Amino acid sequence: MESTDEHQALAVEELAIKANSPPTSYIVKDSESTISTTLPILEIPTIDTTLLSSSSFEAAGELRRLRTALRSCGYFQAINHGMSASFLDEVLEVTGKFFKLPLDEKRTYSRDENGIDGYGNDVIYSDRQTLDWNDRLYLHVLPESIRKCEKWPRLPQNFREILLEFTERLRVMNEIIVKAMEKSLDLGENCFLDQFGKNPISLTRFNFYPPCPWPDRILAVKPHGDASGTTYLLQDKEVEGLQVLKDDHWYRVPLTPDAIVFNCGDQLEIMTNGIFKSPIHRVVTNKEKERRSVALFFSPELTSEIKPAEGLIDDKHPKLYKSVIDYTRNYFEHLQNGRRPIDALKI
Ligand SMILES: O=C(O)CCC(=O)C(=O)O
Ligand SMILES: [Fe+2]
- Dump pLDDT digits (tens) for 139-174: 999 999 999 999 999 999 999 999 999 999 999 999
The ligand 1 atom nearest the CA atom of 241: 3
Give yes or no for residue 61 having a pLDDT over 80.
yes
- Shortest-distance ligand to the CA of residue 266: 2
Q: Which amino acid is at 19?
A: A
Can you tell me the distance from the alpha carbon of 330 to that of 347, in angstroms, rounded to the nearest whole number?
18
- Nearest ligand to the C-alpha atom of residue 285: 1
From the CA of 134, give the closest atom in ligand 1: 1
8 A C-beta contact, residue 240 and residue 254: yes
Ligand in closest contact with the CA of 242: 1
Please state whether 326 falls in left (phi above 0), alpha (psi between -120 and 50) or beta.
Answer: left
Task: Give 1 or 44, the one with higher predicted confidence.
Answer: 44
Confidence category of residue 32, pLDDT binned at 50, 70, 90: low
Contact 185/178 with Cβ under 8 angstroms? Answer: no
- Reported ipTM: the value is 0.99
pLDDT tens-digit map of 304-335 = 999 999 999 999 999 999 999 999 888 877 88
Q: Which residues line ligand 1 (CB under 6 A)?
A: 205, 207, 221, 226, 233, 235, 241-242, 281, 283, 293, 295
Percent of the chain predicted with pLDDT > 70 = 97
What integer is the mean pLDDT of 175-186? 96
Q: Whose CA is nearest to atom 1 of ligand 1?
A: 293
CA dist list (Å): 126 to 122, 165, 281: 11, 38, 22
Banded pLDDT at 239 (limits 50, 70, 90): very high
pLDDT band at residue 3, thresholds of 50, 70 and 90?
very low
Mean pLDDT of the chain: 93
For the chain, domain boundaries: 6-345
What end-to-end distance do the CA atoms of the chain give, in Å?
A: 46
Give, for ligand 1, the residue of 221, 240, 261, 262 to mutate: max count of ligand atoms closer than 8 Å to Cβ. Answer: 221
Ligand 2 geometric centre to CA of 262 (Å):
11
- Compute the distance from residue 86 Cα to the ligand 2 centre, in Å: 25
Task: Give burial (CB, 10 Å; 0-12/13-18/19+) of 59.
Answer: middle
Q: Give the confidence band of 5 by pLDDT, cuts at 50, 70, 90.
A: very low
Provide the pLDDT for residue 251: 95
* pLDDT for 1 beyond 60: no
Q: How confident is the model at residue 4 (pLDDT cuts 50, 70, 90)?
A: very low
Ligand nearest to the CA of 283: 1
- Over residues 69-80, mean pLDDT: 96
pLDDT reading at 91 higher than 60: yes
Is residue 285 predicted with pLDDT exceeding 50?
yes
Phi, psi (rounded to 5 degrees) for 103: -55, -40
- Which pLDDT score, from 0 to 100, does residue 329 have? 85
Provide CATH code, domain 6-345.
2.60.120.330
Please report the atom of ligand 1 found closest to the CA of residue 282. Answer: 7
What's residue 337's pLDDT?
78
- Sign of the CA dihedral running 76, 81, 86, 88: negative
The closest residue, in CA terms, to atom 3 on ligand 1 is 242
Nearest to 308 by CA among 264, 340, 331, 276: 276
Q: Rounded to the nearest 5 degrees, what angle is found at the Cα of 150, between the Cα atoms of 148 and 152?
A: 80
For ligand 1, atom 8, which residue shows the shortest CA distance?
A: 295
Q: How many Cβ atoms sit within 10 Å of the Cβ of residue 126? A: 9
- Distance between CA 267 and CA 228 in Å, rounded? 6
